[in-house]
Structure 1
Amino acid sequence: MRPARSADVEAIAELRAVVMRPDLERLGRYDAHRVRQRLRDGFSPRHTSIIMAAGAFAGSVTLRPRDDGHWLEHFYLSPGLQGQGLGSAVLATLLNRTDTTGDVVRLNVLQGSPARRLYERHGFTVETQDAIDVFMLRPAPPRRPPAPQPATPNPWG
Structure 2
Amino acid sequence: MRTSEGHPEPEWDIRPARPADVEAMAELRAVVMRPDLERLGRYDEHRVRQRLRDGFSPRHTSIIESAGTFAGSIALRPSEDCLWLEHFYLTPALQGRGLGSAVLGTMLHGTDTSGDLVRLNVLRGSPARRLYERQGFTVETQDAVDVFMLRRPRAGRRGEGTMSYT
Q: Structure 1 stretch 62-71 or stretch 17-26: which is displaced more?
A: 62-71
Provide the C-alpha distance between the structure 2 equivalents of 1:144 and 1:34, rounded to a whole number of angstroms.
39
CA gap 1:143/1:37 in 2 versus in 1, 3 angstroms: same
Residue 37 of structure 2 is matched in structure 1 by 24
1:33-44 residue pairs with structure 2 within 5 A?
33-44=46-57
Asked if 1 retains the 8 angstrom alpha-carbon contact of 2:17 and 2:63, the reply is yes
**How far 1:29 sits from its partner (Å)?**
0.2
Asked if 2 retains the 8 angstrom alpha-carbon contact of 1:109 and 1:135, the reply is yes
- Structure 2: unaligned runs, 5 residues or longer: 1-13, 160-166
Asked if 1 retains the 8 angstrom alpha-carbon contact of 2:109 and 2:157, the reply is no
Asked if 2 retains the 8 angstrom alpha-carbon contact of 1:102 and 1:143, the reply is no
Residue 49 of structure 1 is matched in structure 2 by 62
Asked if 2 retains the 8 angstrom alpha-carbon contact of 1:23 and 1:112, the reply is yes
**How far 1:66 sits from its partner (Å)?**
1.6
Aligned-residue Cα RMSD (Å) equals 1.5
Provide the C-alpha distance between the structure 2 equivalents of 1:145 and 1:9, rounded to a whole number of angstroms.
33
**How far 1:144 sits from its partner (Å)?**
7.8
Task: Find the partner of 2:95 among 82, 104, 109.
Answer: 82
Provide the C-alpha distance between the structure 1 equivalents of 2:118 and 2:133, rounded to a whole number of angstroms.
13
The one-letter code matched in structure 2 to 1:60 is S
Provide the C-alpha distance between the structure 1 equivalents of 2:105 and 2:158, rounded to a whole number of angstroms.
23
- Structure 1: unaligned runs, 5 residues or longer: 147-157
Task: Find the partner of 1:125 among 121, 138, 147.
Answer: 138
Residue 24 of structure 2 is matched in structure 1 by 11
Provide the C-alpha distance between the structure 1 equivalents of 2:47 and 2:158, rounded to a whole number of angstroms.
48
1:100-139 residue pairs with structure 2 within 5 A?
100-139=113-152
SS at match of 2:42: coil
Provide the C-alpha distance between the structure 2 equivalents of 1:49 and 1:125, rounded to a whole number of angstroms.
24
**How far 1:142 sits from its partner (Å)?**
3.3
Residue 142 of structure 1 is matched in structure 2 by 155
SS at match of 2:116: coil
**How far 1:143 sits from its partner (Å)?**
6.1
Q: TM-score, normalised by structure 1?
A: 0.90
Q: TM-score, normalised by structure 2?
A: 0.85
Provide the C-alpha distance between the structure 2 equivalents of 1:105 and 1:18, rounded to a whole number of angstroms.
25
Structure with bigger gyration radius: 1
1:85-100 residue pairs with structure 2 within 5 A?
85-100=98-113
Cα deviation digits, residues 54-81 of structure 1 (max 9, x gap): 0000000011112212100000000010
How many residues are paired up?
146
Provide the C-alpha distance between the structure 2 equivalents of 1:63 and 1:70, rounded to a whole number of angstroms.
6
Q: Structure 1 stretch 106-115 or stretch 66-75: which is displaced more?
A: 66-75
